[in-house]
Amino acid sequence: MLYHSTNNTSYRVDLKEAILRSLPPDNGLYMPDSLPVLGDEFWQNWRDLSFQEIGIAVADAFFGTDVPAAALREIVDGTLTFDAPLVTLSPGDHILELFHGPTLAFKDFGARFMARLMAWLTRDENRLLTVLVATSGDTGGAVASAFHNVPGTRVVILYPKGKVSGLQEKQLTALGGNITALEINGSFDDCQALVKSAFLDRELSENLNLTSANSINLARLVPQSFYYIHAARQLPEGVKPVFVIPSGNFGNLTAGLLAMKLGLPVEHFIAATNRNDVVPEFLNTGTYTPRPSVATISNAMDVGSPSNFVRMQALFGGSWQDMKSTISGMWFSDDLTRAAIREVKSVYDYKIDPHSAVGWLAARTWRGAHPCSTTITLETAHPAKFPDVMEAELGQGSVEIPERLAILANREKVAIQMSTDQAAFREWLLASNSSAR
Ligand SMILES: *Cc1c(COP(=O)(O)O)cnc(C)c1O
């Protein structure tokens, strides 16, 4: 399969280039040249398949021409080491829990799959693949966890000294093995500037086999479509779900559209956002106006210029009419979100994080207007990731930190101290690469 840029469909590259480079040089995003469809053989018995079997079939539909079946099976099995259970709050009101992975957010699915696919794509090179990331907190943790112990890879994380939370720092510094943390005596922007200087240094970039594990990498979208199919098959036969997706960069929603293109029966999609409502506004008015983001309590959705919007447009051939007949948009304020967190706890005895609370509000609004419909709201993160908001609404000590995260808190922090000097950073990268081999 070849992949083209959304900016120029005649700019085509192979799978390895699309995944290891993440982005085409023209600043578009990669899309598969033809969108795969799963055949009757799959849809005749899809409801009886396991999560892993669904993942293998979907991965094969996208990557089967480039990656042998046995390797894909290993990549999928290594990714899906935890479940995505469907929880029912009341009839027709379902929540898909996507936070059972190591870093407590749905991004674990995409990051783990990408890490394994990258390792496979570089398996014949006798050089390590070095993943460089600058982080202000969460992204670095998800990438580090995803690549931890993946053979043939190492991760170098740059984070600003004193500017990430204690638990976040442990996620970056306590894993050990092929994960190295550099504590930079500077800001997040300084960290980004160092990473950028390494990528612009062609000799360094090629010698060290650098890659960026960018969040808009196509390899992160495909595994996110697995759980749409896995969720829908848990409903009674014949019930078509309305999927509600709390959104920021719209990768998760795009993955849902890919699942629909694969043949999954879906009633409708709802794009739920906080006050950063660029996409709901577009769906309602036809006018797309990206703008600077504003801060909210669902901060992973504070995006004013969503990167996957161009992929959504491509999937509807640029037609606003077609997009809005499949997707509706809604946004909710922080005050309503806080009230929803309290209501879901008091009525259903369920603790919902601020991002998923936005989704739950959209689902309820939709069911109010369409009483026969069945909604599945994607729960994008575990509430323990947002202790300040949860405790403000539900009281002190109201959310326990899951064991898998709490364990890290007692581990030792190991970080290499570094200044913002580019030459020193370059030297360290080269020296550490030869000793890591
Ligand atoms: C990243 C993230 C989102 C937004 O997902 P997109 O795919 O960027 O739309 C929503 N909630 C949480 C908790 C996230 O981490």
Dump pLDDT digits (tens) for 361-383: 999 999 999 999 999 999 999 99
Count other Cβ atoms within 10 Å, centred on residue 265.
11
| Ligand 1 centroid to residue 354 C-alpha, Å | 11
Q: What is the mean pLDDT of residues 186-197?
A: 91
Nearest alpha carbon, ligand 1 atom 2? 300
| Ligand 1 centroid to residue 144 C-alpha, Å | 18
Nearest alpha carbon, ligand 1 atom 14? 300
Atom of ligand 1 nearest to the CA of 252: 7
Atom of ligand 1 nearest to the CA of 249: 8
Atom of ligand 1 nearest to the CA of 254: 7
Nearest alpha carbon, ligand 1 atom 15? 300
Pocket of ligand 1 (CB under 6 A): 105, 107, 246-252, 300-301, 355, 380-381
Q: What is the rounded CA–CA span in Å between residue 290 and residue 269?
A: 21
Domain limits, the chain = 84-103+219-400
Determine the pLDDT at residue 174: 93
| Least-confidence region, from 51-55, 66-70, 374-378, 398-402 | 398-402
| This prediction's pTM | 0.94
Q: What's 102's DSSP letter?
A: T
| Ligand 1 centroid to residue 302 C-alpha, Å | 9
Beta bridge partners of 32: 3
Q: Is beta strand 241-246 parallel, antiparallel or unpaired with respect to 268-273?
A: parallel
More confident residue, 240 or 434: 240
- Identify the residue whose tokens are 């469909």: 9
Nearest alpha carbon, ligand 1 atom 8? 249
| Ligand 1 centroid to residue 182 C-alpha, Å | 26
Residue 435 has pLDDT above 80, yes or no: no
Virtual torsion, Cα 360, 366, 371, 377, nearest 10 deg: -30
Residue 437 has pLDDT above 60, yes or no: no
Best of 171, 379, 380 for a ligand 1 pocket test (most atoms within 8 Å of beta carbon): 380
| Ligand 1 centroid to residue 306 C-alpha, Å | 11
CATH topology of domain 84-103+219-400: Rossmann fold (3.40.50)
| Ligand 1 centroid to residue 381 C-alpha, Å | 8
Q: What is the rounded CA–CA span in Å between residue 417 and residue 428?
A: 11
Q: Which spans in 98-137 are helix H? A: 107-121
Q: What is the mean pLDDT of residues 320-345?
A: 98
Atom of ligand 1 nearest to the CA of 251: 7
